[in-house]
């Protein structure tokens, strides 16, 4: 999944021959999972039709403050468009538009939207060689970069005039890659490796039956998404679950038993910068596993259990540079028990769940947690969606790492 997935992207189109490329650009943004809206200058409609871009973006295209052909025309609110966008990309950006942007000339909807935008603004220049090299254009580029806008450099190639040189708008694929890399390079976990466990483990009784628990894996999967969205490379080791994830930065490894999870966790722990063990690992397993299905004979049936290896404690004993996070699901003496685990297992942070809190625990879409730091700061959180809890957790980790 692209880092652009779920982002609101506003595409500004100006009047240059390279406007035909915006059809491919919009299509690639949609393919990446982004929400796209398009604003055109009136003259740009001579190069590509609003119908094409509205069809590809799945949204109406705006090019004026109101539609003069409609009796009850509504105002196209440039402020709302500017605030809606997470990213604003102007492609192509002509010499005329860049001059207006650099001097605040507001004579069309696109310019009004640009001046209202609060998000990062990218622009991809496109013009002929002599225009691109003209001192006034060079000055516009310098001013726009000084305003905090990001230029997607023009490339060299055959131009509309027949000349060969610099001024050709970057290809849509290269624009997408440029924006993705620029975003990733600014993310706080760029270059970090995060190891996460999720879900339950199943401990076999015989080939048919097992001992397990009610963990759905939802919390761990949301943590993996949150870490990946912050630029991390994620190893997600999951027990049996119906949860799915689609993100190129998440490598999912499926396991079944506690012993399998132990092996995989230790395989990746040394290279990890952060390890978050949210899986509900079985504390006990059958001492003897039958190779055949156990037949129903007696009214009573007993199974001798033995302890599984405590994965979290084993990591706490060998950790070096890693930031180690554990989870504690408690039903009584919650703070006391969680704080005890924090110390005993050499953790940097523990996330306390209490089954006494409504909306917390296994299976649901919400959770109510308390963060307890190694300094024993107790940070109680409100009931939130598991996605929000995951974001809060990653922010707390980043805060402690940079403290």
Q: Taking a C-beta distance cutoff of 8 angstroms, is the pair 339, 290 a contact?
A: no
Q: Taking a C-beta distance cutoff of 8 angstroms, is the pair 241, 217 a contact?
A: yes
Name residues whose C-beta falls within 8 Å of residue 19's C-beta, 6 or more positions apart in sequence.
Answer: 13, 44, 47, 48, 92
Strand partners, 277: 197, 326
Question: Using CA atoms, how far apart are residues 27 and 282, in angstroms rounded to an integer?
Answer: 47
**Residue 211 host element (H or E):** strand 210-211
* Backbone φ, ψ for residue 226 (5° rounding): -65, -40
SS3 363: coil
Structure tokens at 266: 């230790």
CA torsion, ordered 130, 131, 133, 134, to nearest 10 deg: 110
**Catalytic-role residue among 8, 77, 96, 213:** 213
Question: Using CA atoms, how far apart are residues 344 and 310, in angstroms rounded to an integer?
Answer: 12
Residue 213 among the catalytic residues? yes
Question: Using CA atoms, how far apart are residues 24 and 27, in angstroms rounded to an integer?
Answer: 5
| Catalytic residue IDs | 213
């Amino acid at each position: 999944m692209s880092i652009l997935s779920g982002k609101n992207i506003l595409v500004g189109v100006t009047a240059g021959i390279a406007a035909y490329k915006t059809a491919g650009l919009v299509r690639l943004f949609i393919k990446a999972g982004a929400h796209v809206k398009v604003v055109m200058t009136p003259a740009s409609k001579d190069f590509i039709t609003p119908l094409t871009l509205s069809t590809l973006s799945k949204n109406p295209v705006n090019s004026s403050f109101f539609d003069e052909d409609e009796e009850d025309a509504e105002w196209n609110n440039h402020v709302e468009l500017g605030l809606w966008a997470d990213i604003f990309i102007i492609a192509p950006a002509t010499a005329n538009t860049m001059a207006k942007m650099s001097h605040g000339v507001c004579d069309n909807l696109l310019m009004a939207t640009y001046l209202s935008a609060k998000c990062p603004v990218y622009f991809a220049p496109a013009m002929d060689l002599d225009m691109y090299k003209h001192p006034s254009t060079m000055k516009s580029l310098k001013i726009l970069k000084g305003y905090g806008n990001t230029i997607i450099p023009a490339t060299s190639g055959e131009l509309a005039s027949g000349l060969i040189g610099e001024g050709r708008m970057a290809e849509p694929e290269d624009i997408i890659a440029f924006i993705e890399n620029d975003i990733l390079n600014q993310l706080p976990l760029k270059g970090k490796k995060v190891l996460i466990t999720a879900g339950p483990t199943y401990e076999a009784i015989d080939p048919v039956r097992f001992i397990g628990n009610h963990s759905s894996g939802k919390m761990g999967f949301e943590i993996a998404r949150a870490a990946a969205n912050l630029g991390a490379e994620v190893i997600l080791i999951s027990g049996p679950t119906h949860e799915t994830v689609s993100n190129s930065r998440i490598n999912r490894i499926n396991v079944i038993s506690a012993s399998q999870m132990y092996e995989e966790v230790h395989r990746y722990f040394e290279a990890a910068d952060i390890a978050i063990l949210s899986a509900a690992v079985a504390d006990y397993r059958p001492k003897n596993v039958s190779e055949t299905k156990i037949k129903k004979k007696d009214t009573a049936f007993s199974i001798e259990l033995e302890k599984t290896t405590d994965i979290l404690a084993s990591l706490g004993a060998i950790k070096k540079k890693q930031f180690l996070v554990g989870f504690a699901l408690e039903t009584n003496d919650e703070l006391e028990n969680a704080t005890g685990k924090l110390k005993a297992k050499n953790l940097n942070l523990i996330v306390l769940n209490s089954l006494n809190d409504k909306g917390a625990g296994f299976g649901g879409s919400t959770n109510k947690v308390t963060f307890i730091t190694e300094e024993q700061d107790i940070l109680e959180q409100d009931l939130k969606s598991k996605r929000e809890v995951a974001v809060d957790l990653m922010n707390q980790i980043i805060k402690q790492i940079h403290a």
